[in-house]
């Protein structure tokens, strides 16, 4: 069976991806800085090889790509390349030596949407450094696939969520206190009419997507795919749903965006990034080419994460929502 190197495999997606690959018989090598542990325990972690490499430090020495190539991978899943020079250094070292290279991009290659749901045919229009770095890497990789046959696939996860992470909340940031506020039944203020959107995806579904792309190589090489849940959620609908999980009637009010954002303090810029994008993306291409069918809706993914946050005390809930994944 093929040898898979997962760069950044100890992160949230890797927590699910590494066991999924091991269960399918792949030989797996996890490359990380060695500072993080998987979010969930699994016997698979005892059967893989863990390599400690600091990507930034090795790239400065011009050695990161060479060291990955020396592991003799058939497949490389790159979860942590954030700009074009980083991507290029690795790809040049792997050229002619791998069967498949999967690049983790982001829905943040999209800036402000012009139609919804957005599709992969819509041109990227990034509005920040992170999005530009991902978009530039994507464009270069797809050109390499067309012109030189380099076997690259790009995928764009949404707001990744699941046990161990704070979900992007109904005001568009990662402050867990917003969930505590809702749990108390306090009033939540939203921008405009609360119709801006966020688009989550469970880390397990991103892992599922990667496995499907590997096992449907001919359909995925040279392509880019959105990797999100079936549907985005509006801020207003999201907030109302969470209130009801806690047995509370929604208490929601609204302010004009410019006035509202000034009251968010240290969370303002994180919020602005999510709200101005108002993410909503189609997975039809992933469904059609790879038979990608997310197990979790956005609400189910958030609820699982929220239950874990309550259990560990990061969200304070007088009456915690019930068990299960129903909405």
pLDDT by residue for the chain (327 residues), tens digit each?
799 999 999 889 999 999 999 999 999 999 998 766 677 777 888 899 999 999 999 999 999 999 999 999 999 999 999 999 999 999 999 999 999 999 999 999 999 899 999 999 999 999 999 999 999 999 999 999 999 999 999 999 999 999 888 999 999 999 999 999 999 999 999 999 999 999 999 999 999 999 999 999 999 999 999 999 999 999 999 999 999 999 999 999 999 999 999 999 999 999 999 999 999 999 999 999 999 999 999 999 999 999 999 999 999 988 664 433 334
CATH dotted code for 3-160+201-227: 3.40.50.720
- What does the alpha-carbon distance between residue 120 and residue 214 come to, in Å, rounded to a whole number? 19
- What does the alpha-carbon distance between residue 167 and residue 296 come to, in Å, rounded to a whole number? 14
Report domain extents, the chain.
3-160+201-227, 166-199+231-280+296-311
Quickly name the fold that domain 166-199+231-280+296-311 has. UDP-galactose 4-epimerase; domain 1 (3.90.25)
Each residue of 190-222: b (16+ CB within 10 Å) or e?
A: bbeebebbbbbbbbbbbbbbbbbbbeeeebbbb
User: What global pTM score does this model have?
Assistant: 0.94
């Amino acid at each position: 069976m093929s040898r898979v190197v997962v760069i950044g495999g100890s992160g949230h997606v890797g927590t699910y991806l590494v066991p999924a690959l091991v269960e399918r018989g792949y030989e797996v090598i996890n490359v990380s800085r060695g500072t993080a542990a998987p979010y969930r325990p699994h016997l698979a972690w005892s059967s893989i090889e863990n390599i400690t490499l600091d990507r930034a430090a090795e790239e400065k020495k011009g050695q990161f790509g060479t060291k990955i190539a020396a592991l003799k991978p058939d497949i490389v899943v790159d979860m942590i390349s954030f700009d074009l020079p980083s991507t290029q250094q690795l790809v040049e070292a792997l050229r002619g030596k791998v069967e498949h290279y999967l690049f983790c991009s982001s829905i943040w290659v999209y800036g402000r949407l012009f139609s919804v749901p957005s599709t992969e045919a819509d041109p990227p229009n990034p509005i920040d450094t992170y999005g530009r770095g991902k978009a530039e890497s994507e464009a270069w990789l797809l050109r390499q696939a067309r012109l030189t046959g380099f076997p690259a696939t790009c995928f764009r996860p949404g707001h990744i969520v699941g046990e161990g992470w704070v979900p992007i909340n109904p005001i568009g940031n990662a402050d867990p206190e917003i969930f505590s506020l809702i749990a108390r039944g306090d009033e939540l203020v939203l921008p405009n009419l609360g119709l801006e959107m966020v688009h989550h995806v469970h880390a397990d579904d991103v892992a599922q997507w990667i496995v499907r792309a590997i096992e449907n190589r001919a359909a995925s090489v040279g392509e880019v795919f959105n990797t999100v849940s079936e549907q985005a959620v509006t801020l207003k609908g999201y907030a109302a749903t969470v209130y009801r999980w806690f047995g509370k009637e929604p208490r929601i009010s609204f302010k004009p965006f410019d006035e509202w954002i000034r009251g968010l303090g240290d969370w303002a810029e994180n919020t602005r990034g999510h709200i101005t994008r108002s993410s909503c993306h189609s997975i039809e291409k992933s469904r059609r080419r790879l038979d990608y069918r997310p197990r979790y809706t956005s609400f189910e993914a958030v609820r699982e994460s929220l239950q874990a946050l309550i259990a560990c005390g990061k969200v304070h809930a007088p009456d915690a929502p019930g068990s299960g994944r129903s909405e």
